[in-house]
Chain A
Amino acid sequence: MFLPDYYEFCARVKTVAGHRALDRIPSMLSSLGVARPMIITDRGVSGAGLIKLVSGAMKGSKARVGAVYDEVPPDSEYTIVNAAAKLYRAKKCDSIIAVGGGSVLDTAKGVNILVSLGGANILDYEGAGAVKRKLKPMIAIPTTSGTGSEVTVVAVIADHKKKVKIPFTSYFLLPDIALLDSRMTKTLPPFLTAPTAMDAMTHACEAYYCMAKNPLSDATALMAIRLISANILNVIKKPGDLQGRLDLANGAILAGMAFSNSMVGMVHNLGHATGGACGVPHGVCMSLFLPYGLEYNMHKRAKEIGELLFALAGPEVYAATPVKQRPEKTIEYIRKLNQDLHDATGGRHARFLKEIVDREGRQMVPKEKLADIARTAQGDGAKVYNPEEINYDDAMMVLEYAYDGKPLKRKKIRKG
């Protein structure tokens, strides 16, 4: 077990997970001592009847919902945070229940900063370390098994005008309670289950080779990969498989714990930038860049990448593969998984940049945008935690390979 010269790890979130975990909401609210929670969510979630499930579970509670804000868009931005905070104050709420995917949870964290510390604009709290004290009680109920935002210290909030994603980082952004209920992810369609689960998978893999790795981030990452790898294809083929759904949810939260404490590298660096410059959903970028992140850092992290094979492919494959071949086999396995997901979703799971299309079927990342992405990536924090340096030319090189899905030419990677 790798023990670094120095590490920090904090995942102070009470996890409540199960097939009927929502039933525990009344006692959770009373343990937090709150009476008027505000529900933050998006239209998709409330349209799927999931808010009804939550408010139904609250019937036995003394607490009453103070307000519902359900206008969080898929790629939320700071203006939304500011608007929701205004509603919170107007309705005199005292806590937050966030129900949704990454965008909703991150928005809710932003709202919590504003309503706890004061102010009207979330952008005033930019920077790692601007949030320095306990915020209002918050319960996070994820409806995708992906971002792990329910247990991370980060909230990524976009500024669409500037085309950037701004990370807010503080231990106080950790929600008090993360509530995972298999019913909440059951209705997620396969073409969304695939990228979100791969998002979690990427968190765990990156956590395992990035610079702040430590015993706990390694342990949580390995457990996460085992859970996700064993279930991802089954759940996509059988969306109603509640046990598989719960396993994925547990995998995602473990992956969140891992990467929130070991930070992430190139995959997120390029992923954030692609999201910022072209509006591609986060999870889609993650699965697509993951093999490249592994290839790019191979010369510095061969051992770690080789160890991932155990969690991904299981003990039999691991034992049958000679140590030297394990790193390459890991990359091969991830590429194969992306291909399998592509097939299982009828081609909707994108394997490379060229393949990403929006709802109208338009290509989202035209080749001339690559330079834009590479430039944006230089301003993204994840590059700091990547083992190998990534400057503009490096990013450009990787993007060109990822554009049509060719494996990296290892000779082209500049080794520091």
Chain B
Amino acid sequence: MNYDRYPEIKPGRKTIKRIYIAVMLFVVGRAIQAACRVDETVKKEFKNLKDGFAFVLGVHPYGPWMIVGRDAKGRAKYMGWNPEGKKIPLKMSIKNVESAILVFTFQESTAVAFARNRFVVDGDLIDALAVVRVLDLVEVYLLPKLIAALAVKRYPKWSELSPVRKHVGRIVIYTRALLGF
């Protein structure tokens, strides 16, 4: 057998999908920061987290990543894409790019993705669950109902999330997320 006919293969990268995920992560990260200033529930979730809390969410093993932390006042703060050199107590990684695509194209809700074992959580599970609740809420703000209803288990009723709260919140969150303040 001529072994040279069967060379070593170094698998490449899926650049376009990674860029898409990076953009989504960027928007979601900044949206969390914005939502924390607009939405009472998100604000409360962050208040309850420990001082110095931060989490990184991204794709195993090469990223992209996004980091959100809690500042001294108990507010969410988007801390960029590079986890290196930062002290981050909670790491939530999606096992691979394709699974991340399923999540970020909303073909799989966070709950379904968890049930399908697509996430690896490294850190305090109680904090991780708080993050999942925040992500669900942010999705409700960012996405049209048609899509968000797929992404969360129970789309908040109008009684829970009034139209004014949602639409004004949505506009403010979008503006802040994109402009970054």
- Do A and B touch each other in the complex, judged by CB within 8 A? yes
Cβ–Cβ contact B124 & A384, under 8 A: no
Query: Once bound together, how far apart are the Cα atoms of A32 and B96, in whole Å?
Result: 34
Number of A-B contacts defined by CB within 8 Å: 63
Which of B6-14, B23-31, B77-85, B114-122 is the contact stretch? B114-122
Cβ–Cβ contact B121 & A416, under 8 A: no
Q: Is the interface of A mostly helix, strand, loop or mixed?
A: loop
Pick the contact of B157: A129, A212, A414 (CB < 8 A): A414
Measured CB to CB, the nearest residue on chain A to B60 is A129
Which of B32-40, B64-72, B125-133, B173-181 is the contact stretch? B125-133
Cβ–Cβ contact B116 & A6, under 8 A: yes
Chain A positions 189-214 with a Cβ under 8 Å from a chain B Cβ: 210-212
Measured CB to CB, the nearest residue on chain A to B129 is A379
Measured CB to CB, the nearest residue on chain B to A385 is B115
**Chain B: minimal CB distance from A379 (Å):** 4
Contacts of A404 in B (CB 8 A): none
Cβ–Cβ contact B154 & A414, under 8 A: yes
Any A CB within 8 A of the CB of B19: no
Binary contact readout B133-168 vs A (1 if CB under 8 angstroms, 0 otherwise)? 000000000000000000011110100000000000
Cβ–Cβ contact B125 & A126, under 8 A: yes
Any A CB within 8 A of the CB of B123: yes
Measured CB to CB, the nearest residue on chain B to A381 is B125
Cβ–Cβ contact B120 & A128, under 8 A: yes
Cβ–Cβ contact A8 & B117, under 8 A: yes
Query: Once bound together, how far apart are the Cα atoms of A263 and B115, in whole Å?
Result: 8
List 21 A–B pairs whose Cβ atoms lie within 8 Å, in order of A's numbering.
A7-B116, A8-B116, A126-B123, A126-B124, A127-B91, A127-B121, A127-B122, A127-B124, A127-B128, A128-B120, A166-B125, A211-B111, A263-B115, A379-B125, A380-B129, A384-B129, A385-B114, A389-B152, A389-B153, A389-B154, A415-B154
Residue positions of A touching B, CB distance < 8 A? 6-8, 126-130, 164, 166-167, 210-212, 263, 378-381, 383-385, 387-389, 414-416
Residue positions of B touching A, CB distance < 8 A? 91, 111-112, 114-117, 119-126, 128-130, 132, 152-155, 157
